[in-house]
């Protein structure tokens, strides 16, 4: 590897790494907010927060990494233009074809990572996340309930206290439950209890206890009953996706699936790799700028190209799955023209056309 290749690849890798760190931090905040929202609604057990956060980040990497790579390359080449290094390289015959080698040293590893996340790790993360949620909702221990401690229901609608709990979190001993709904309160005690699930509905079955219901404010409208068995409805569990859902199936299983939804999901997993390559090629001509131009003058153009490409990719997936676009066409109508346009822009970047009077000779 020549010194020029090492220098350029190092500059591009550093700027790409910086852009990726910033994007991952920003994206992590959005993913964290979504996970907390699911926990607050009772859809996801609180103890699975960190695991769900990591799995969701893996799922979004094919959408985050292409933007980070594009912005990083634009920042790297933009610095070379600002410091007049690119004009010097052009003057000694370093053109787009010669820049392919250092560019490939940065882009190729990113394509491998994006392909692995899109084709393998992403589907695995979605399926494993569903399995963890389903298993956690069947165990009060994973749902955040602990023996000897008051635990608040999601949304602040009440509290529950248990004196003892089995090792797997499915059996309870000496239960106290306080709930409130608008202007009514409900206090329930039981000698024992257990969690049961019916579809997406979760119920806490209590045995041998008392229940008192009455107004929160002043009033004498109280009801007291003693029961042998009683069921309390808990926040609804996260619905388990169908086993035939293409989003949860491995990529190799989609290859032989002729359903439009499966073909749409297959194209959706292949598209990020090709779009990333197109964005990487577009970054070089978009980064061209005079020395005195604003540092981030063309960043918005690159960002808009990314937003349009990714939005059309998501819309195209829905159109193919709904039958609006032929299955054979898939997402090729998007990725191939964009890839061809990016290649044309890259290889014609900086080409100077001879004047007409010179061409006439």
Question: 337: how many CB neighbours lie within 10 A of its CB?
Answer: 11
Q: Where are the beta strands (DSSP E) in the chain?
A: 151-152, 158-165, 171-181, 184-198, 201-215, 223-234
Q: Quickly tell me which residue has 């390359």 as its tokens.
A: 73
What Rg, from alpha-carbon coordinates, does the chain have? Answer: 29
Contacts of 114 (CB under 8 A, 6+ apart): 61, 62, 65, 66, 272, 273, 276
**pLDDT level of residue 295 (50, 70, 90 thresholds):** low
Which residue did the predictor score with more confidence, 43 or 268? 268
Residue 37 pLDDT more than 70? yes
Which residue did the predictor score with more confidence, 76 or 47? 76
Cα angle 46-52-53, degrees, rounded to a multiple of 5: 105
Give me the percent of the chain exceeding a pLDDT of 70. Answer: 83
Q: Where are the beta strands (DSSP E) in 128-260?
A: 151-152, 158-165, 171-181, 184-198, 201-215, 223-234
**pLDDT level of residue 142 (50, 70, 90 thresholds):** very low
Q: Give pLDDT tens digits for 245-259.
A: 888 888 888 888 888
**pLDDT level of residue 233 (50, 70, 90 thresholds):** confident
Average pLDDT estimate for 228-235: 78
Q: Give pLDDT tens digits for 121-138.
A: 999 998 888 888 777 666
**What are the b/e assignments for 11-28, b being 16+ CB within 10 Å?**
bbbebbeebbeebbeebe
Query: Which pLDDT value is given to residue 95?
Result: 77
**pLDDT level of residue 180 (50, 70, 90 thresholds):** confident
Which residue did the predictor score with more confidence, 255 or 234? 255
Go through the chain and tell me how many residues it has.
361
Kindly report the pTM of this predicted structure: 0.74
Secondary structure element (H or E) that encloses residue 277, with its range: helix 260-287
Strands 158-165 and 171-181: antiparallel
Residue 355 pLDDT more than 70? no
CA distance to 28, 156, 172, per residue, from 210 (Å): 46, 23, 16
Q: Quickly tell me which residue has 């190799």 as its tokens.
A: 252
End-to-end CA distance of the chain: 42
Residue 300: strand, helix, or coil: helix
Average pLDDT estimate for 37-45: 71
Query: Which pLDDT value is given to residue 138?
Result: 61
Residue 25 pLDDT more than 60? yes
Structure tokens at 266: 């297959």
**pLDDT level of residue 98 (50, 70, 90 thresholds):** confident
Q: Give pLDDT tens digits for 256-292.
A: 888 899 999 999 999 999 999 999 999 988 888 766 6
* Greatest mean pLDDT range, 45-54, 117-126, 187-196, 285-294: 117-126
């Amino acid at each position: 590897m020549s010194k020029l290749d090492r220098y350029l690849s190092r500059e591009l890798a550093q700027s790409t790494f910086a852009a990726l760190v910033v994007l991952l931090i920003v994206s992590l905040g959005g993913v964290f907010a979504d996970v907390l929202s699911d926990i607050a609604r009772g859809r996801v057990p609180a103890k699975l927060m960190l695991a769900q956060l990591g799995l969701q980040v893996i799922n979004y990497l094919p959408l985050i990494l292409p933007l980070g790579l594009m912005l990083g390359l634009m920042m790297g080449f933009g610095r070379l233009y600002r410091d007049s290094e690119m004009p010097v390289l052009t003057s000694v015959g370093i053109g787009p074809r010669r820049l392919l080698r250092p560019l490939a040293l940065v882009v190729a590893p990113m394509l491998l990572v994006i392909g692995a996340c899109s084709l393998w790790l992403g589907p695995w993360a979605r399926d494993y996340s569903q399995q963890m949620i389903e298993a956690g909702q069947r165990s009060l221990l994973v749902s955040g309930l602990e023996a000897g401690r008051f635990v608040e229901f999601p949304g602040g609608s009440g509290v529950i206290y248990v004196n003892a709990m089995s090792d797997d979190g499915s059996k309870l001993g000496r239960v106290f439950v306080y709930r409130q709904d608008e202007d009514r309160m409900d206090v329930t005690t039981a000698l024992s209890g257990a969690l049961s699930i019916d579809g997406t509905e979760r119920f806490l079955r209590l045995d041998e206890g008392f229940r008192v219901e009455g107004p929160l404010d002043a009033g004498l409208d109280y009801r007291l009953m003693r029961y042998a068995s009683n069921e309390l409805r808990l926040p609804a569990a996260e619905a388990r996706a169908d086993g035939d859902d293409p989003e949860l199936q491995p990529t190799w299983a989609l290859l032989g699936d002729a359903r439009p939804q499966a073909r749409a999901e297959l194209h959706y997993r292949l598209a990020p790799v090709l779009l990333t390559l197109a964005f990487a090629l577009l970054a070089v001509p978009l980064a061209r700028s005079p020395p005195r131009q604003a540092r981030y003058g063309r960043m918005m153009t690159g960002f808009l190209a990314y937003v349009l490409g990714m939005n059309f990719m998501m819309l195209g997936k829905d159109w193919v799955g709904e039958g609006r676009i032929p299955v054979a066409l898939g997402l090729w109508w998007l990725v191939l023209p964009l890839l061809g346009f990016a290649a044309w822009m890259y290889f014609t970047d900086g080409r100077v056309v001879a004047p007409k009077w010179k061409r006439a000779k």
